[in-house]
Amino acid sequence: MTEEFRVLYLTADPTPEPELPDGPGSGLAVETLGSVDALDERLRDGAADCVVVGEDGDRASWEGLAAVHDTHVDRVPFVHVTTDSDRDASDVVGDGVLHTLSEDQPVPFRELAAYVSTSGDVTDTANRFAVFAHHAQDGVVTVDTDGHVTETNPATRNIFGFEDGELVGKHLSTLLPEDGGDRGLLPPFGSDDDASRQWQPVRYTAADADGNEVPVLVTFGRFETAAGTHYTGVIRDVSQRERLESELESHLERVTDAFFALDSEFRFRYVNERAAELIGVDADSVIGDLVWDRFPAAVDSRFQDRYEHAMETQRPVSFEEYFPPLSTWFSVQAYPSETGLSVYFRDVTERKERERALERQRDELEGLAQLNRVLQSVNETLVNAANRTMVERTVCDQLVDSSLFAAAWLGRVDSRRDTVELATSAGPNEFEPAATVPVSEAVAHPAGEAAASQSVERVRDLSALDASSPWVRAALDCGFASVAAVPVTYKGSQYGVVTVFATKPDAFTDGVVEALSQLRSVVGLAINATERRAALIADGTVQLELIIRDPSNPMFQAVAEHGVTAELEGATALDDHTFVEYFTITGSPGETLFDTIRSFDLVEGLSVLDSGGEEALVTMTVVDPPISTLLAEHGGTVREIVVDDGSAELVAELPKSASIRSLVDSFEAMFESVDLRAKRERKRPERRVSEFRSTLEEQLTDRQHEALSAALRGGYFEWPRENDAEEIAATLGISSPTFHEHLRAAQQKLFTDLLDVAPSDREPDRPASDRS
């Protein structure tokens, strides 16, 4: 005798696995087939106790089923299932058994097997009955449309004490009294015989042969055959479970955790309300089910490992584990006994999420603190960087040496070609960044996007990008998971892009991006400073002549409207943003013009130093004057500016290392049109220190030299001053005003010669003692 009741399931869609029965009373094996030929082959092998045929597919595909049915029906029963309520038994092969399901209801294999096992008009009852009854622990009862019992199984006798055949012919109410519970789900279901009412479990109070009450769980289904309609039901004795509940009641009343009890085979014996809520089961219907069948995702998980370990060692276990199907973290305590396992558990998802959030926050804060230390170190190192190449190399090396990032590369922006060109990189040997990246927000490369958008760009997860892109493939091959690109700029000038890689996804959080954005100005300032330094010590410079036109420029417009010409005589920077500029304005300038200039947003003040009718010398304090500021950012200076009739003729001097194209592009972005008229190299005259010193000694009087030396040695130029003017004057035996006069005269001669700038008109120098 086979140990399982074997079902062959013929369906038009054999791909999904059938919902297999489980728990006491099953003992079933279900095999899914997709063709009549496969069914015939398996039946000839003697591999079935029952055939279930799905009737909702393309019936034409079941060609030949009638012949297979006629060949095997004397040995194996056929049951047909459908969701079409208009079908009847005469529509199926051989006027077979037809069972109607509701929409989306899974095929109830266990109940169909129970029906076949107890239905004598299907085929060889005794043989099939013995197979299934060997495993059945539940009572199985079949009744006709009047509610009279036609078949029962041996378990019905064992549970309720009736003799064999004693219930046959009697009304179902003999076993299930009218007042035993809700009869709405007991046969007959009613005139509509709604298929959705089938196989719905109901708690009922049955009566045994002696009239004693027996708590049961009952479920019935309807079947149609050529002989008519009848109902088969499964009746499960739940008295043991309810006794267990009663015994545990005093204890469980004090239990606030979720709790379930398993027997020694890991079948559910009891589930409290909180547990049913947390794991999403019905506390009654789950009784008797294997926990691994109910929760297949727990197989081979830590849950199974710990439960089995507890039963094997008979020692309690406690653990915390995440269960993906329920998206829940559980804290579990399991207590074994010889008869089973008592499991107490709580949902600790909120706590775990808080802990993880705190851990992420702590890691991020530690990372940010380390990153800020790295950035501070970068900043300190860049102060002493000798040239731009050293700046670029220092940035990449220190970022990678910090262990926060796996690799970094810095590219220079080529505005002529609209590309980012690789300058230097740091990282693993196999790391080879792209040599050229287009500057565009449309390209899927953060460096090109950052250069175009002038903002930090990041990719949180590189694996989400198209791996066919060469740079993405190369990054993934190096083990990188995320990337950020920071544009390097200073005062509107764009110098390049720093691109940084990390091995963790989402490593570039908002906090990290905010910290990295400091590189924008820190590196930009360092590069700008090295270029200015290079300009100061360079043997030669580049001189440019440009014509700038822009009738909408306020200064150009004012000069044109008043018919004057403005020529720059000189400029002095008060700080990084404010300049004092000296202009000679010719063409009868008047107060109207001066008031117009004073009204400009950039002009903080205008003073007329000298006015002689056709010509006036004025000084203007200007915040971020566009031409002077832009040239300064490129390491250059203004040599000449003549503004006339809506345009300006500019002569500028820049270091040879400056990008002329970048400068012109910046001017073109600022003014309507820019015309580069000339570009020539200019060699600075060499002058030795000894020559400079000799010249000064010739120009300074003894008193001036004495005052300058005393001020320097006495700490007059320190901050705070070590000695004031009166104290130093006293050491020289002169008054404070006389000391000031000698010192100013010496300073003027020193800076005039050093800066090669002609002083303003003044009285010839003479000793202070000669002055009144």
Using alpha carbons, list the distances in angstroms from residue 616 to 470, 568, 584, 585, 607. Answer: 64, 12, 6, 5, 10
Q: What is the CATH number of the domain that holds 713?
A: 1.10.10
* Number of C-beta neighbours around residue 275 at 10 A: 22
Q: What pLDDT, on a 0 to 100 scale, did the predictor assign at position 61? A: 65
Rounded to the nearest 10°, the torsion over CA 315, 320, 324, 325 is: 50
pTM over 0.85: no
User: Are 75 and 220 part of one and the same domain?
Assistant: yes
Domain boundary among 326, 347, 368: 347
Question: What is the distance between the terminal CA atoms of the chain, rounded to a whole angstrom?
Answer: 138
pLDDT tens, 529-566? 777 776 666 567 888 999 999 988 899 999 999 999 99
Whether residue 619 is predicted with pLDDT greater than 90 in this model: the reply is: no
User: Are 222 and 78 part of one and the same domain?
Assistant: yes
For residue 357, tell me if it sits in a domain: no
Domain count, the chain: 5
Conformational region of residue 236, where left means phi above 0, alpha means psi within -120 to 50, and beta covers everything else: beta
Do 176 and 161 form a contact (C-beta atoms < 8 A)? no
**19: amino acid identity, one letter:** E
pLDDT tens, 142-195? 888 888 998 888 888 888 999 888 999 999 999 999 999 888 888 876 555 566
Least-confidence region, from 14-28, 200-214, 360-374:
14-28
**453: amino acid identity, one letter:** S
User: Are 560 and 706 part of one and the same domain?
Assistant: no
User: Are 317 and 420 part of one and the same domain?
Assistant: no
Helix (H, G, I), strand (E, B) or coil at 254: coil
User: Are 77 and 186 part of one and the same domain?
Assistant: yes
Do 232 and 118 form a contact (C-beta atoms < 8 A)? yes
pLDDT tens, 667-726? 888 899 999 999 888 775 555 555 566 666 677 887 888 788 778 867 788 878 877 888
CA distance 339 to 349: 31
CA distance 591 to 599: 12
User: Are 116 and 226 part of one and the same domain?
Assistant: yes
Task: Write b or e for each residue in 303-337: b if 16 or more Cβ atoms lie within 10 A of its Cβ, otherwise e.
Answer: beebbeebbeeeeebeeebebeeeebbbbbbbbbe
**CA dihedral sign of residues 690, 693, 698, 699:** positive
User: Are 577 and 676 part of one and the same domain?
Assistant: yes
For residue 456, tell me if it sits in a domain: yes
**Six-digit token pair at 36?**
């009549």
For residue 364, tell me if it sits in a domain: no
For residue 388, tell me if it sits in a domain: no
For residue 710, tell me if it sits in a domain: yes
User: Are 562 and 694 part of one and the same domain?
Assistant: no
User: Are 558 and 479 part of one and the same domain?
Assistant: no
pLDDT tens, 449-488? 998 888 999 999 998 888 888 899 999 999 999 999 999 8
Domain boundary among 187, 205, 234: 234
Do 624 and 517 form a contact (C-beta atoms < 8 A)? no
Domain boundary among 176, 207, 234: 234
User: Are 141 and 50 part of one and the same domain?
Assistant: yes
CA distance 453 to 456: 8
Range of the domain at 445: 405-533
Helix (H) / strand (E) element for 638: namely strand 637-644
User: Are 248 and 122 part of one and the same domain?
Assistant: no
Q: What is the DSSP letter of 600?
A: S
For residue 591, tell me if it sits in a domain: yes
Q: What is the CATH number of the domain that holds 205?
A: 3.30.450.20
User: Are 477 and 608 part of one and the same domain?
Assistant: no
Q: What pLDDT, on a 0 to 100 scale, did the predictor assign at position 125? A: 38
CA distance 90 to 551: 97
For residue 556, tell me if it sits in a domain: yes
- In degrees, rounded to 5, the angle at the alpha carbon of residue 230 between the alpha carbons of residues 224 and 235 is 125
For residue 145, tell me if it sits in a domain: yes
